[in-house]
DNA sequence: TCCTTGTTGTTCTTGTCATAACAACATTTA
DNA sequence: TAAATGTTGTTATGACAAGAACAACAAGGA
């Protein structure tokens, strides 16, 4: 009998596609054999024998298991390739349906009596910040201005280059060297040394300013030991302030 | 204020991507406006005001909402296009991870002391039967023999034709006419009248025999008022019986 | 007769929903 | 300016549903 991979990871992954703990354990057990009775499933999976029956019913409903009405009944797994794709298909259909309706609502959303674009919004955690930034960069229409630490910039550089390929005017200041290989003509890259002494502003480890189309700005703040935070705003004041800061930095490095 | 679409359907769809009822209602409310306070969200969504706060925390964690630390705090939806794709991406990653591990286990599954291929497996419900059949047809290596009612055949004919395009030898007997348009050369189609009188076997409304590679057979049984059932087997006896039945039917119609 | 299979019921646990209560802060009123 | 009122944010509690875990029993098979 082969060793079972870490089944806690597996049941956790299968929970994402809608399986309960017992459903996962039973399906995993069945995947390992060509077929089994309920009692055998109980022995392989550790799920209580009486519970195996309703669990199997549910797995049959979910098109992960088929039954032979022998005596005793025998059960067989549908291949994971097929079974999981079937589950995912339904989830995707539901997600698409919801997305369509919601996106329509979103496009017609109520225009409040202003003020929202004056707000500064907070985003916590590197993953969410990257997702927000990639979205902003992907939808840039005119220009992108960036000053960013290389440590962070490398995580989004592929998005930046992809947007550059559509001819969007992009100017980057960073301690990260210009990437070797294909770099679109519309991407202007200024590489700065990591440390230029006390008189020069330094680029922090996890820091950056990202200005899109001269009207949206995102300020990344963080250090390597604390989860990063970003502030995002469409406020004219906020954007202008960082546009000027960006120009200042660029001016410094043009002289150097 | 625009009319809200049927939000029970929406919350049901969003449940598939992992949102609770309150999370769905709050997100839907936020999608409709450019931003709102917790109290406004409570008024729009109907979720109790005290419950809105922990729900918003969770939605922020799920990258569906961002917050501005104004007084009172204001919240804003991330666009459904982006937000739902983010959720789906995680589900898909989990599904792929599970699928990979499980498929490897499945390929090495224990070979029992035979007998499974002698069993007859039951499949209930049209959707599951179609999925099973499409899988069988897609993986056919040599041949497919079909006798099927047109009513059912039309639901899988695209799969059959796609497999025909890979040169698999396919013979079909049905009351469904050969489809107009591109039909692969390896698909031989015999059309039979719906009713040939008492002396001839009739093709039931929801019925069919599907034989793949001369070693797998699926028998579809049903009528229009009862959900169909299928029997599937790799048993030599079962397959041979229906191969002979298929040949008999074909012989009848060659004479006619 | 004993064992196995299948089914049902009960209890416990956990998470979500729904409500109440309270502290802190902001705004309004006298 | 102080007091009264309203708003915001947080926490606690109870009800409910679903899943997990176990016990018990009837029916069928060996």
Q: Does residue B36 fall inside a structural domain?
A: yes
Q: Does residue B107 fall inside a structural domain?
A: no
Residues A148-185 pLDDT 10s: 988 899 999 999 999 999 999 999 998 888 888 778 88
What's the average model confidence in pLDDT over A41-48? Answer: 94
Question: How far B201 CA lies from chain A's nearest CA (Å)?
Answer: 28
Specify whether A143 is located in the same domain as A42.
no
CB contacts < 8 A, A to B, total 193
Q: From the Cβ of B7, is strand C under 7 Å away?
A: no
pLDDT at position A149? 87
Specify whether A143 is located in the same domain as A251.
yes
Q: What is the domain count for chain B?
A: 2
pLDDT at position B137? 95
Q: Does residue A245 fall inside a structural domain?
A: yes
Point out the nucleotide closest to A39 (alpha carbon to C1′).
C5
**List of chain A residues whose C-beta atoms are within 8 Å of the C-beta of residue B98:** 10, 13-14, 17, 80, 84
- Put simply, whether B79 touches A (Cβ < 8 Å) is yes
Domain range for residue A77? Answer: 7-82
Q: If you measure CA to CA, which chain B residue comes closest to A83? A: B99
Angle ∠(B78,B80,B84) on CA atoms, nearest 5 = 100
User: Is the pLDDT confidence value at B42 over 80?
Assistant: yes
Specify whether B150 is located in the same domain as B217.
yes
Phi and psi at residue A97, to the nearest 5°: -60, -50
Q: Which residue has the higher pLDDT, A214 or A250?
A: A214
Cross-chain residue pair A2–B108, CB shorter than 8 Å: yes
Cross-chain residue pair A116–B34, CB shorter than 8 Å: yes
Strand D bases within 7 angstroms of protein beta carbons: 7-12, 18-24, 28-30
Specify whether B36 is located in the same domain as B127.
no
Residue A196: pLDDT band with limits 50, 70, 90: very low
pLDDT at position B135? 93
Nucleotide D8's nearest residue (CA vs C1') is B72
Specify whether A146 is located in the same domain as A247.
yes
Q: If you measure CA to CA, which chain A residue comes closest to B72? A: A119
Name which of A106, A123, A235 to mutate to probe chain B: the one with the most chain B Cβ atoms within 10 A of its Cβ: A106
Q: Does residue A138 fall inside a structural domain?
A: yes
**List of chain B residues whose C-beta atoms are within 8 Å of the C-beta of residue A19:** none
Residues B101-150 pLDDT 10s: 999 999 988 665 556 778 889 998 898 999 999 999 999 999 999 999 88
Residue B203: pLDDT band with limits 50, 70, 90: low
Give the lowest-confidence range in A45-59, B14-28, B103-117: B103-117
What's the average model confidence in pLDDT over A108-130? Answer: 80
Q: Does residue B161 fall inside a structural domain?
A: yes
Specify whether B64 is located in the same domain as B135.
no
pLDDT at position A198? 39
What's the average model confidence in pLDDT over A215-220? Answer: 93
Choose the final residue of a domain: A31, A60, A82: A82
User: Is the pLDDT confidence value at A3 over 50?
Assistant: no
Distance CA A44 to C1' D25 in A: 25
Q: Which residue has the higher pLDDT, A222 or A217?
A: A217
- Put simply, whether A231 touches B (Cβ < 8 Å) is no
Specify whether A251 is located in the same domain as A162.
yes
Q: From the Cβ of B198, is strand C under 7 Å away?
A: no
pLDDT at position A116? 72
Specify whether B139 is located in the same domain as B250.
yes
Residue B87: pLDDT band with limits 50, 70, 90: very high
User: Is the pLDDT confidence value at A235 over 90?
Assistant: no
Q: What is the CATH number of the domain that holds A199?
A: 3.30.870.10
Specify whether B67 is located in the same domain as B170.
no
Q: From the Cβ of B50, is strand C under 7 Å away?
A: yes
Specify whether A140 is located in the same domain as A186.
yes
Q: From the Cβ of A54, is strand D under 7 Å away?
A: no
Q: Does residue A160 fall inside a structural domain?
A: yes
Distance CA B121, CA A69 (A): 7
List, as one string, the DSSP characters of chain B: -PPPP-HHHHHHHHHHTT--HHHHHHHHHHHTBS-EEHHHHHHHH---HHHHHHHHHHHHHTTSEEEE--SS-EEEEPPHHHHHHHHHHHHHHHHHHHHHHHHHHHHT-B--SS-GGG-EEEEESHHHHHHHHHHHHHT-SSEEEEEE-HHHHTTTHHHHHHHHTTT-EEEEEESSPPPSS---TTEEEEE--S---TTSPPPPTT-EEEEETTTEEEEEEEETTEEEEEEEE--HHHHHHHHHHHHHHHHHHHH-
What's the average model confidence in pLDDT over B75-87? Answer: 94
Q: Does residue B88 fall inside a structural domain?
A: no
pLDDT at position B196? 39
What's the average model confidence in pLDDT over A5-26? Answer: 88
Point out the nucleotide closest to B38 (alpha carbon to C1′).
D8
pLDDT at position B213? 94
Q: Does residue B2 fall inside a structural domain?
A: no
A34, A112, A120: residue with CB nearest B34: A112
**List of chain B residues whose C-beta atoms are within 8 Å of the C-beta of residue A60:** 124
Choose the final residue of a domain: A82, A110, A145: A82
Specify whether B57 is located in the same domain as B130.
no
User: Is the pLDDT confidence value at B69 over 60?
Assistant: yes
Choose the final residue of a domain: B61, B82, B103: B82
**List of chain A residues whose C-beta atoms are within 8 Å of the C-beta of residue B90:** 16
Q: From the Cβ of B72, is strand D under 7 Å away?
A: yes
Q: What is the CATH number of the domain that holds B13?
A: 1.10.10.10
Q: Which residue has the higher pLDDT, B165 or B254?
A: B165
Specify whether A147 is located in the same domain as A209.
yes
User: Is the pLDDT confidence value at A195 over 60?
Assistant: no
Q: From the Cβ of A53, is strand C under 7 Å away?
A: yes
- Put simply, whether A183 touches B (Cβ < 8 Å) is no
pLDDT at position A221? 86
What's the average model confidence in pLDDT over B160-183? Answer: 88
Q: What's chain A's average pLDDT?
A: 86
């Amino acid at each position: 009998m082969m060793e079972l991979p870490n089944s806690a990871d597996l049941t956790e992954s299968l929970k994402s596609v809608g399986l309960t703990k017992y459903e996962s354990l039973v399906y995993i057990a069945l995947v390992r054999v060509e077929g089994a009775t309920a009692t055998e499933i109980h022995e392989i999976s550790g799920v209580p024998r009486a519970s195996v029956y309703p669990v199997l019913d549910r797995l049959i409903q979910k098109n992960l298991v088929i039954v032979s009405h022998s005596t005793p009944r025998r059960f067989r797994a549908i291949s994971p390739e097929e079974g999981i794709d079937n589950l995912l298909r339904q989830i995707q259909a539901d997600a698409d349906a919801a997305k369509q309706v919601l996106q329509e609502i979103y496009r017609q959303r109520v225009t409040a009596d202003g003020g929202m674009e004056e707000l500064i919004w907070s985003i916590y955690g590197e993953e969410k910040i990257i997702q927000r930034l990639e979205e902003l960069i992907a939808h840039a229409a005119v220009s992108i201005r960036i000053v960013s630490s290389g440590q962070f910039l490398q995580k989004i550089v592929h998005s930046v280059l992809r947007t550059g390929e559509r001819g969007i005017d992009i100017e980057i200041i960073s301690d990260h060297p210009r990437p070797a290989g294909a770099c679109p003509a519309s991407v202007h890259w200024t590489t700065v040394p990591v440390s230029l002494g006390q008189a020069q502003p330094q680029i922090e480890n996890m820091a950056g300013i990202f200005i899109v189309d001269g009207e949206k700005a995102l300020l990344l703040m963080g250090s390597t030991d604390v989860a990063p935070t970003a502030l995002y705003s469409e406020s004219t004041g906020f954007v202008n302030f960082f546009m000027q800061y960006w120009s200042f930095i660029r001016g410094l490095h043009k002289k150097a």
